[in-house]
Amino acid sequence: MPLSAREKISPPYCPSRRAGLSLVEILMALLILTIAVLPAIGALSGYYGVATRQMEQEMALKLGEAVVNVLMTANYSELKEGAIPALPLNIQTPSGSFSGTMSFAGGYASGTPVTIGKTKYIIGAEVKKIFLAQNIGTPHNNALEFSWISPDAPPPPFGGGAAPPPPPIATYSCFNDLICLKVTVDFGGAKPIELATFRADMAR
Amino acid sequence: MKKMLNPRKGVALAMVMVFCIAILGLVTVLVFNTRSHKGSHTYQHDTSRALMAATAAMQLAIYKYRVLPSEYYKIHTLETLKNKGTADAAALNALNSFKTAWMADFQSDNAGSPAAKIKAEIDKSTGGNHSFGVEEFSLVSKAAQGYTRDYLKIRAWGASGDTRKVLEELIEVRISD
């Protein structure tokens, strides 16, 4: 049966010709989209988790530094003797603020909870006497010793060449302790933040 | 012939493929961003540790100055002569020797030095790998109307991992006449 002129030139608009193909296309499209979207959701979730963890770690580091700064300005004698009173902690951040105290027992402060935003940070601190004062009468092995060299340079060796460096003529140690300050901030991460530094007596 | 006349066939699949490529591009960007964020975790931690190490170096320098103030003033006197241009060769040699000996105690890389002992303690306490030292230790005077004030100028550095931080402080000292 010959086709009419209209059938020859017009595109196949008839719905019955496209219905099956569209269903297959849509199903395939859904399958491909699902395959593509699932890792995207996973990546987005991972990205959000990493960003949150980074924010918490940054806050934990700032808290740790703040507590170290508080300990650096606290009374040296009280720190040394382990008679530290409750130290005030006033922290203000864009995520929230905290006002409270850090209580010490001896040279230790453990488990001071600080909640900023939705995260709880547990701050611990430790004051240790590592390098102790030393007097001439009571020498020990836990003192930091500094040496001083002879003001008179030794003569140059026979046959020329550079003179050797002058030998130390004495060692000196301090009459104050050099104390170690250690701060730990646990924020539920894999590993708590640990910062440590030393402090000398600045009063005199 | 009829198939070729259908101009919209396969458009949906082509568009889905385009979307998929866009989504995969987004995933790739996110994955690389996440990796770089993980690197910045370490960087932040190292920065704080480097600052703590630099603080320890600063405190050690002050501690030594308290132990050996008169020895430091010998260096300062020789340095003043050098700056005025009145130091002879012997004074310059003595200055170099004294200064080297003075600064050697502050470098954590010098085995057996007080700084190395402090570094070992910090490493033990935090489980990290720190290093620190003092770049400059000098006495500066500020004279104004009616008073003269002296300051210790200490520039200390600290490092942890690949991060290095420098601290500089002026500490007022009172020199007895």
Asked if pLDDT for residue A166 goes beyond 70, the answer is no
Query: How far apart, in whole angstroms, are the C-alpha atoms of residue A115 and residue A123?
Result: 11
Task: State whether A196 and B52 contact (CB < 8 Å).
Answer: yes
Please give the structure tokens belonging to residue B140: 């500066």
The pLDDT tens digits for B127-175 are 889 999 999 999 988 877 777 788 899 999 999 988 999 999 998 887 6
Buried b (16+ CB within 10 A) or exposed e, A90-107: ebeeeeeebeeebebeeb
Nearest to B27 among A39, A149, A197 (CB): A39
Would you call A65 and B51 a contact, using CB atoms and an 8 Å cutoff? yes
Do the beta carbons of residue B26 and residue A40 sit within 8 Å?
yes
Compute the mean pLDDT over every residue in chain A, rounded to the nearest whole number.
Answer: 78
pLDDT, greater one: B166 or A41? B166
* 3-class SS of residue B25: helix
Contact B99, B92 (CB under 8 A): no
- Dihedral of alpha carbons B108, B113, B117, B118, sign: negative
Name the minimum distance, in Å, from the CA of B14 to any CA of chain A: 9
Domain coordinates in residue numbering, chain A:
15-132+177-199
DSSP A35: H
- Taking a C-beta distance cutoff of 8 angstroms, is the pair B74, B99 a contact? no
* Confidence check: pLDDT of A124 > 70: yes
Cβ partners under 8 Å of residue A22, min gap 6: B12
What is the distance between the alpha carbons of residues A114 and A67, in angstroms, rounded to a whole number? 12
Nearest CA in chain A to B11: A25
Judged by a CB distance cut-off of 8 A, whether residue B49 touches chain A is yes
Q: What is the per-residue pLDDT for B51? A: 95
Tokens of B148: 């003269």
Lowest mean pLDDT among A116-125, A154-163, B13-22: A154-163
Could you tell me which residues are beta bridge partners of residue B93? none
Contacts of A55 (CB under 8 A, 6+ apart): A95
Decide if B20 and A65 are in contact by the 8 Å CB cutoff.
Answer: no
Cβ contacts of B48 on chain A, cutoff 8 Å: 61, 64-65, 193, 195
Kindly report which listed range (A115-119, A163-167, B79-83, B148-152) carries the lowest average pLDDT score: A163-167
Query: How far, rounded to the nearest angstrom, does the alpha carbon of residue B166 sit from its chain's CA centroid?
Result: 4
Which candidate in A23, A38, A129, A146 is best for mutational testing of the B interface (most B CBs within 10 A)? A146
Residue B16 contacts A, CB cutoff 8 Å = yes
Q: How far apart are CA B109 and CA B105, in angstroms?
A: 10
What Cα–Cα distance (Å) separates residue A141 from each residue in A107, A129, A168, B34?
22, 13, 19, 49
The CA distances from residue B175 to B62, B70, B151, in Å, are 15, 10, 10
Per CB-CB distance under 8 Å, the chain B contacts of A148 are: 68, 71, 101
pTM of this structure: 0.76
Answer with the residue of higher pLDDT: A180 or A37: A180
Helices (H), chain A: 5-9, 15-73, 76-81
